[in-house]
Amino acid sequence: MLARAVLFTLVPVAAAAASGLIAVLRPPGVRVTSGLQHFAAGVVFAAVAVELLPGVIDQTPWVAVVGFAVGIAVMFGFRAISERAEQRREERALPGLPLGLLIAIGIDFLIDGVILGAGFSAGARLGFLLTIALAVEYLFVGLSLSATLSGLVSRTGTALAPVALAVMTVVGTVLGAVALDGASPALLGAVLAFGAVAFMYLATEELLVEAHARGETALGSVGFFVGFLIYLVLHEVVR
Protein backbone atom coordinates (compact mmCIF):
# COMPACT_ATOMS: atom_id res chain seq x y z
CA MET A 1 0.00 0.00 0.00
CA LEU A 2 2.85 2.40 0.83
CA ALA A 3 4.52 1.84 -2.55
CA ARG A 4 1.23 2.48 -4.36
CA ALA A 5 0.57 5.67 -2.37
CA VAL A 6 4.06 7.04 -3.09
CA LEU A 7 3.74 6.13 -6.79
CA PHE A 8 0.44 8.00 -7.11
CA THR A 9 1.93 10.98 -5.25
CA LEU A 10 4.24 11.50 -8.21
CA VAL A 11 1.21 12.58 -10.27
CA PRO A 12 0.61 15.88 -8.39
CA VAL A 13 4.39 16.38 -8.19
CA ALA A 14 4.51 16.10 -11.99
CA ALA A 15 1.63 18.58 -12.23
CA ALA A 16 3.59 21.04 -10.08
CA ALA A 17 6.63 20.57 -12.32
CA ALA A 18 4.48 21.22 -15.39
CA SER A 19 3.17 24.43 -13.83
CA GLY A 20 6.70 25.77 -13.42
CA LEU A 21 7.59 25.01 -17.03
CA ILE A 22 4.37 26.57 -18.32
CA ALA A 23 4.93 29.72 -16.27
CA VAL A 24 8.42 30.13 -17.72
CA LEU A 25 7.88 29.05 -21.34
CA ARG A 26 4.33 30.16 -22.16
CA PRO A 27 2.39 31.72 -19.28
CA PRO A 28 -1.38 31.81 -19.90
CA GLY A 29 -3.21 35.12 -20.10
CA VAL A 30 -4.93 36.73 -17.14
CA ARG A 31 -8.46 35.67 -18.07
CA VAL A 32 -7.44 32.14 -18.99
CA THR A 33 -5.57 31.75 -15.73
CA SER A 34 -8.57 33.04 -13.77
CA GLY A 35 -10.87 30.55 -15.48
CA LEU A 36 -8.49 27.66 -14.89
CA GLN A 37 -8.16 28.57 -11.22
CA HIS A 38 -11.96 28.56 -10.92
CA PHE A 39 -11.94 25.12 -12.56
CA ALA A 40 -9.33 23.80 -10.11
CA ALA A 41 -11.30 25.15 -7.14
CA GLY A 42 -14.40 23.36 -8.42
CA VAL A 43 -12.53 20.05 -8.60
CA VAL A 44 -11.20 20.49 -5.07
CA PHE A 45 -14.63 21.38 -3.65
CA ALA A 46 -16.12 18.33 -5.36
CA ALA A 47 -13.48 16.10 -3.77
CA VAL A 48 -14.46 17.45 -0.36
CA ALA A 49 -18.21 17.25 -0.93
CA VAL A 50 -18.26 13.85 -2.63
CA GLU A 51 -15.33 11.92 -1.19
CA LEU A 52 -14.04 13.26 2.11
CA LEU A 53 -16.99 14.36 4.22
CA PRO A 54 -20.08 12.20 3.42
CA GLY A 55 -18.66 8.84 4.52
CA VAL A 56 -16.95 10.32 7.56
CA ILE A 57 -20.09 12.06 8.75
CA ASP A 58 -22.16 8.90 8.26
CA GLN A 59 -19.77 6.69 10.23
CA THR A 60 -18.29 8.99 12.90
CA PRO A 61 -20.17 12.32 12.93
CA TRP A 62 -18.69 13.77 16.13
CA VAL A 63 -15.18 12.71 15.18
CA ALA A 64 -15.70 14.50 11.88
CA VAL A 65 -16.80 17.64 13.71
CA VAL A 66 -13.71 17.58 15.92
CA GLY A 67 -11.37 16.93 12.97
CA PHE A 68 -12.96 19.77 11.01
CA ALA A 69 -12.64 22.17 13.96
CA VAL A 70 -8.97 21.27 14.47
CA GLY A 71 -8.40 21.80 10.75
CA ILE A 72 -9.84 25.31 10.93
CA ALA A 73 -7.58 26.20 13.86
CA VAL A 74 -4.45 24.78 12.23
CA MET A 75 -4.91 26.23 8.74
CA PHE A 76 -5.77 29.73 9.90
CA GLY A 77 -3.04 29.53 12.52
CA PHE A 78 -0.53 28.89 9.73
CA ARG A 79 -2.06 31.78 7.81
CA ALA A 80 -1.59 34.16 10.73
CA ILE A 81 2.05 33.09 11.16
CA SER A 82 2.86 33.50 7.46
CA GLU A 83 1.14 36.91 7.26
CA ARG A 84 3.07 38.10 10.31
CA ALA A 85 6.35 37.00 8.77
CA GLU A 86 5.55 38.83 5.54
CA GLN A 87 4.51 41.96 7.44
CA ARG A 88 7.77 42.04 9.37
CA ARG A 89 9.77 41.64 6.18
CA GLU A 90 7.89 44.50 4.50
CA GLU A 91 8.19 46.78 7.57
CA ARG A 92 11.94 46.30 7.60
CA ALA A 93 12.08 46.85 3.84
CA LEU A 94 13.91 43.58 3.44
CA PRO A 95 14.22 42.43 -0.17
CA GLY A 96 13.95 38.82 -1.12
CA LEU A 97 11.54 35.97 -1.52
CA PRO A 98 7.99 35.91 -0.14
CA LEU A 99 8.94 33.50 2.64
CA GLY A 100 5.49 33.55 4.21
CA LEU A 101 3.90 32.34 0.99
CA LEU A 102 6.55 29.67 0.45
CA ILE A 103 6.18 28.36 4.01
CA ALA A 104 2.38 28.33 3.77
CA ILE A 105 2.37 26.39 0.49
CA GLY A 106 5.00 23.95 1.78
CA ILE A 107 2.90 23.23 4.89
CA ASP A 108 -0.24 22.90 2.77
CA PHE A 109 1.49 20.40 0.50
CA LEU A 110 2.78 18.42 3.48
CA ILE A 111 -0.74 18.20 4.92
CA ASP A 112 -2.12 17.23 1.51
CA GLY A 113 0.35 14.35 1.46
CA VAL A 114 -0.80 13.13 4.87
CA ILE A 115 -4.41 13.25 3.63
CA LEU A 116 -3.47 11.33 0.50
CA GLY A 117 -1.80 8.67 2.65
CA ALA A 118 -4.94 8.53 4.80
CA GLY A 119 -7.04 8.21 1.65
CA PHE A 120 -5.09 5.18 0.47
CA SER A 121 -5.36 3.70 3.96
CA ALA A 122 -9.14 4.09 3.71
CA GLY A 123 -9.29 2.59 0.21
CA ALA A 124 -7.51 2.56 -3.16
CA ARG A 125 -10.45 4.23 -4.92
CA LEU A 126 -10.47 7.19 -2.54
CA GLY A 127 -6.70 7.56 -2.88
CA PHE A 128 -6.96 7.55 -6.68
CA LEU A 129 -9.65 10.23 -6.77
CA LEU A 130 -7.80 12.42 -4.27
CA THR A 131 -4.70 12.11 -6.45
CA ILE A 132 -6.61 13.58 -9.38
CA ALA A 133 -7.93 16.46 -7.27
CA LEU A 134 -4.43 17.23 -5.97
CA ALA A 135 -2.91 17.12 -9.46
CA VAL A 136 -5.38 19.73 -10.73
CA GLU A 137 -4.89 21.83 -7.61
CA TYR A 138 -1.08 21.72 -7.78
CA LEU A 139 -1.04 22.73 -11.43
CA PHE A 140 -2.69 26.05 -10.68
CA VAL A 141 -1.18 26.69 -7.26
CA GLY A 142 2.17 26.16 -8.97
CA LEU A 143 1.27 28.65 -11.71
CA SER A 144 0.33 31.25 -9.10
CA LEU A 145 3.55 30.65 -7.17
CA SER A 146 5.72 30.88 -10.27
CA ALA A 147 4.00 34.12 -11.29
CA THR A 148 4.77 35.56 -7.83
CA LEU A 149 8.44 34.53 -8.02
CA SER A 150 8.94 35.82 -11.55
CA GLY A 151 11.49 38.61 -11.44
CA LEU A 152 12.64 37.72 -7.93
CA VAL A 153 14.58 34.60 -8.87
CA SER A 154 16.09 33.16 -12.03
CA ARG A 155 13.98 31.42 -14.67
CA THR A 156 15.35 28.11 -13.41
CA GLY A 157 14.31 28.95 -9.85
CA THR A 158 10.86 30.00 -11.03
CA ALA A 159 10.43 26.70 -12.86
CA LEU A 160 11.72 24.51 -10.04
CA ALA A 161 10.04 26.18 -7.04
CA PRO A 162 6.63 24.44 -7.39
CA VAL A 163 8.10 20.95 -7.77
CA ALA A 164 10.53 21.55 -4.90
CA LEU A 165 7.63 22.37 -2.58
CA ALA A 166 5.57 19.50 -3.99
CA VAL A 167 8.21 17.07 -2.70
CA MET A 168 6.71 17.83 0.71
CA THR A 169 3.63 15.95 -0.51
CA VAL A 170 5.69 12.80 -0.95
CA VAL A 171 7.01 13.19 2.60
CA GLY A 172 3.49 13.71 3.93
CA THR A 173 2.16 10.71 2.03
CA VAL A 174 4.80 8.42 3.51
CA LEU A 175 4.08 9.73 6.99
CA GLY A 176 0.32 9.39 6.53
CA ALA A 177 0.44 5.92 4.98
CA VAL A 178 2.81 4.54 7.64
CA ALA A 179 1.18 6.20 10.65
CA LEU A 180 -2.38 5.39 9.57
CA ASP A 181 -1.86 1.84 8.33
CA GLY A 182 -4.39 -0.22 10.24
CA ALA A 183 -5.79 2.86 12.00
CA SER A 184 -9.29 2.78 13.44
CA PRO A 185 -12.20 4.21 11.41
CA ALA A 186 -12.52 6.99 13.98
CA LEU A 187 -8.90 8.12 13.53
CA LEU A 188 -9.13 7.93 9.74
CA GLY A 189 -12.36 9.90 9.89
CA ALA A 190 -10.76 12.65 11.95
CA VAL A 191 -7.81 12.91 9.57
CA LEU A 192 -10.04 13.03 6.49
CA ALA A 193 -12.25 15.70 8.09
CA PHE A 194 -9.10 17.69 8.85
CA GLY A 195 -8.07 17.19 5.23
CA ALA A 196 -11.39 18.59 4.04
CA VAL A 197 -10.48 21.89 5.68
CA ALA A 198 -7.02 21.88 4.10
CA PHE A 199 -8.54 21.30 0.65
CA MET A 200 -11.19 23.99 1.11
CA TYR A 201 -8.63 26.45 2.45
CA LEU A 202 -6.42 26.11 -0.61
CA ALA A 203 -9.44 26.49 -2.89
CA THR A 204 -11.02 29.50 -1.17
CA GLU A 205 -8.00 31.35 0.22
CA GLU A 206 -5.58 30.78 -2.64
CA LEU A 207 -7.14 29.65 -5.91
CA LEU A 208 -10.36 31.70 -5.81
CA VAL A 209 -8.77 34.76 -4.21
CA GLU A 210 -6.10 34.80 -6.89
CA ALA A 211 -8.68 34.18 -9.62
CA HIS A 212 -10.84 37.11 -8.49
CA ALA A 213 -7.82 39.37 -8.21
CA ARG A 214 -6.98 38.67 -11.85
CA GLY A 215 -10.42 39.73 -13.04
CA GLU A 216 -13.83 38.14 -12.69
CA THR A 217 -15.71 37.05 -15.81
CA ALA A 218 -18.91 35.06 -16.26
CA LEU A 219 -17.08 32.47 -18.35
CA GLY A 220 -14.38 32.13 -15.71
CA SER A 221 -16.97 31.56 -13.00
CA VAL A 222 -18.54 28.80 -15.07
CA GLY A 223 -15.19 27.01 -14.82
CA PHE A 224 -15.83 26.37 -11.13
CA PHE A 225 -19.03 24.46 -11.84
CA VAL A 226 -17.53 22.65 -14.82
CA GLY A 227 -14.71 21.42 -12.58
CA PHE A 228 -17.23 20.25 -9.98
CA LEU A 229 -19.29 18.48 -12.67
CA ILE A 230 -16.30 16.72 -14.21
CA TYR A 231 -15.30 15.38 -10.81
CA LEU A 232 -18.85 14.10 -10.26
CA VAL A 233 -18.69 12.26 -13.58
CA LEU A 234 -15.28 10.82 -12.69
CA HIS A 235 -16.67 9.71 -9.33
CA GLU A 236 -19.36 7.70 -11.14
CA VAL A 237 -16.98 6.27 -13.74
CA VAL A 238 -14.32 5.08 -11.27
CA ARG A 239 -15.90 2.21 -9.37
Other Cβ atoms less than 10 A from the Cβ of 101: the count is 18
The answer to whether the beta carbons of residues 169 and 12 sit under 8 Å apart is yes
For 176-222, how does the pLDDT look when each residue is reduced to its tens digit (9 = 90+)?
Answer: 888 887 778 888 888 888 888 888 888 888 778 877 876 667 777 88
| Cα of 149 vs its chain's centroid, Å | 19
Q: Would you place residue 98 in the very low, low, confident or very high pLDDT band (cuts 50, 70, 90)?
A: low
Other Cβ atoms less than 10 A from the Cβ of 87: the count is 11
Closest-CA residue to 23 (of 108, 148, 204) = 148
The answer to whether the beta carbons of residues 85 and 168 sit under 8 Å apart is no
For 132-185, how does the pLDDT look when each residue is reduced to its tens digit (9 = 90+)?
Answer: 888 988 888 888 777 777 767 788 888 888 898 899 999 999 988 888 877 788
Q: Provide DSSP, 52-101.
A: IHHHHHHH-HHHHHHHHHHHHHHHHHHHHHHHHHHHHHHHTT--S--HHH
